[in-house]
A and B are shown apart, each in its own frame.
Chain A
Amino acid sequence: MNDLEIIEKTRSLLGDKILEIANPALRRIFIKVEPEKLVDFIAGLRKNLNITYVATISGVDLGEFFEILYHFGHSNGSLTVRTLIPRANPHIESICSVIPGAILYERELQDMFGIIVDHIPDPRPLVVPDGWPAGNFPLRKDWKYERPEEIIPGGKK
């Protein structure tokens, strides 16, 4: 299926959940949905269009909002589903009930941004070290790291 066919089919079958669709380049489609309708939309993609391969889940810090992008791949390109959640109440529903392979990406989202994923099957932190102080989310724009002074053995003080 090429780009136009995918856009047609998505609009006709799942059009009530979509806020906007963009096709900025060959084989790249970006669809924006509301956070409440996300899981139904992805279940619809799986059932009707057979798009099941989640490449990764990215988070972007936009100040007032967090934008979450779900990158899917299919046999003729890549489709991305994006949604916005407010910074003051960062909750999003887990998609692991539809696609079990997305678990690790959701755990990373929780560690790096502090986004709380509801009904996630395994809520443990993924990449931050043991003993990392809670409440520090490295990829937020307002989190800065001050490097402590290094001691050079046998060198100048």
Chain B
Amino acid sequence: MLNRLVRWSRIKSPWILHLNSGACNACDIEIVAALTPRFDVERFGVLLKATPRHADVIVATGPVTRQIKDRIIRIYEQTPDPKFVIAVGACAMSGCVYRGAYNIMGGLDQVIPVNVYIPGCPARPDAILDGVVKLLGKL
């Protein structure tokens, strides 16, 4: 019974953690713009949280550079189960224009397991909302 309550509250209001792994910033500004009055993601109960220990969903952008790879793995392990990862933007999916550079690992799925991919360069705030809602529908 308590499990069902907890599961319902997680679906109704996921708390997200925003992670930037070496991106050009366009996708990150679009994620923050999703909080502003025009797109307003908070009406879905989504809150931007500061620490991995409070978060349900990790929203990550950017191609993964070597320097930040260990930190990402550490943050992924600090997030409590059940957790989901959303990869936003073409960089997080496969590296976008930076494929083949010496400091880039490739997409985000080379480092941590990913549940949802949102394409775009940058992904529009509407697309990000769409992706988050689709994830909630799958749960």
> From DSSP, what is the main secondary structure of chain A's interface residues?
loop
Does residue B67 face the partner (Cβ distance < 8 Å to A)? yes
* B79: interface (CB < 8 Å): no
B113 lies within 8 A of chain A by Cβ: yes
Interface size on B, residues (CB 8 A): 13
Q: Is B65 an interface residue (CB 8 A)?
A: yes
- What mask results when residues 96 to 135 of chain B are scored 1 for a CB within 8 Å of chain A, else 0? 0001111100100110011000000000000000000000
B7 contacts partner chain A, Cβ-Cβ < 8 Å: no
**Stretch from A24-32, A81-89, A91-99, A143-151 that touches the partner:** A143-151
Chain A residue nearest in CB terms to B106: A150
Instruction: Specify which of B102, B106, B113 lies most central, judged by the most chain A CB atoms within 10 Å of its CB.
Output: B102
How many A residues face the partner with a CB closer than 8 A? 12
In the complex, the answer to whether B110 meets A138 with C-beta atoms within 8 Å is no
Report the 9 A-B pairs with minimum CB-CB distance, sorted nearest first: A129-B67, A145-B102, A129-B66, A150-B106, A153-B109, A147-B100, A138-B102, A150-B110, A130-B67
What residues on A are CB-neighbors of B65 within 8 Å? 129
A-B contact pairs, 10 of them (CB 8 A): A128-B103, A129-B65, A129-B103, A131-B66, A132-B66, A138-B102, A145-B101, A147-B99, A151-B110, A153-B109
Inter-chain CA distance A130–B106, complex, in Å, is 19
Give the shortest distance, in Å, between B90 (CB) and chain A (any CB): 15
Contact of A145 with B100 in the complex, beta carbons under 8 Å: yes
List A98-157 residues whose CB lies under 8 Å from chain B: 128-132, 138, 145, 147, 150-153
The distance from the CB of A130 to the nearest CB of chain B, in whole angstroms, is: 7
Q: Which residues of A contact B110 (CB under 8 A)?
A: 150-151
Contacts of A147 in B (CB 8 A): 99-100
